[in-house]
Structure 1
């Protein structure tokens, strides 16, 4: 029996910052594909998933993550061109309101967005579902201390 392969080698996450008029999440515009997204990337070597997310944030934005949580959420989708299902753990980083973003070559633009702005920019329903989940559990409510990742 043929099975659809699972890809569990990718991580993703949302960066949140508090502003005077509410929270914002960071979106990045991919240089190659031209669409807006949150931070994502592949696990390398013996990294744990959360370590890969921290590294990807640093590589893509120059931001050093201090306050890290598991979002307690898995992005999942089917990629027809690869005939594979991707299952991706999602993380949330709370960053300082004055944090500076310096993009690498993978992205051409960035934007700090409200939930509605972010959902209007991204092309995939799963991205909007991730954002709704993160907003509900990290902005509308205080995150559970059990989701905090201690390093």
Structure 2
């Protein structure tokens, strides 16, 4: 299996709703946080910021890691590691840039988001900030 790193960003509005994107899947559509695969030469934070901009039209700053998880994606032959950052919107406006990939972008209640995010119980409080992230440069 090929290892793939994926960077997502958890964005909350003033009503504590979560921004989610509805992706067009091979079999059926599904909701995720905005984000995607880390490209060669990119840091996790750079990928997260780029992916949010590409998928939603929003400019964001990312903070700390909210959660870390992994899965074997058999249909693609991937071992995916998911890094989810907390973030803040600093500009842009919501728009679908890639209609061939994204069906919808919307704010959803946390209870609805939890159904799609498969969060462990300890992370149900989405305002909690957990793991510091640091890029240590080139070594």
1:104-119 correspondence runs (5 A): 104-105=97-98, 106-119=101-114
Match of 1:103?
96
1:88 to 74, 82, 102: 82
User: Quick one: distance in 1 between partners of 2:20 and 2:122?
Assistant: 14
Deviation at 1:117, TM superposition (A): 2.1
SS at match of 2:118: helix
TM-score, L = length of structure 2: 0.76
Unaligned runs of 5+ in 1: none
Match of 2:36?
41
Deviations 1:53-93 (A, max 9, x none): 00001111111113x22224212112223454221211111
Kept after mapping to 1: 8 A contact 2:35/2:55: no
TM-score, L = length of structure 1: 0.70
1:23-38 correspondence runs (5 A): 23-32=16-25, 33-38=28-33
Structure with more helix by fraction: 1
Unaligned runs of 5+ in 2: none
Structure with more strand by fraction: 2
State the 4+ residue runs in structure 1 displaced beyond 4 angstroms: none
Structure index of larger Rg: 1
1:147 to 117, 132, 135: 132
